[in-house]
Structure 1
Amino acid sequence: MGAGATTIASAGAAISIGNVFSSLIHFVARNPSLAKQSFGYAILGFALTEAIASFAPMMAFLISSKRDPFT
């Protein structure tokens, strides 16, 4: 169950990262003068999405563990 939850979360993160950079490409194609500034925002979005994806295995291990982690 933990592996399935981690896989689903990783797939969601991959889709989100694809959306971030797809939006970046569309934005730069429409407004090339702001390419450097928008790239910084895209990297920030990538980092936040990856942070959520890295929390997924930790939460899956906590959920699938047999004992209560807070005792």
Structure 2
Amino acid sequence: MPMSAQEIEDLLRESFPNADIQVSGDDGVHMSAMVVDESFRGKNRVQQQRAVYAAMKGKMDGANGELHALALTTRAPD
């Protein structure tokens, strides 16, 4: 079952309550998200993206995942 942008944002907000989060895409299977959060400061891009994927709580796991692809942009605030 596809995921709405709001469902994705809600999941991310649980792990990143103070982040600037923008989710886009309209098919519910191939989406994109920008997450800007202070917790990313000092972490490399791979570490940041792993934290976001962990926040998805298995929704992207394997062939049975609800979300097939999530293009990510992550960074600490300026």
Judging by fraction of residues, say which structure has more helix: 1
**Quick one: higher RCO (CA 8 Å, sep 6+), 1 or 2?**
1
Fold similarity call, TM over 0.5: no
Q: Which has the higher strand share?
A: 2
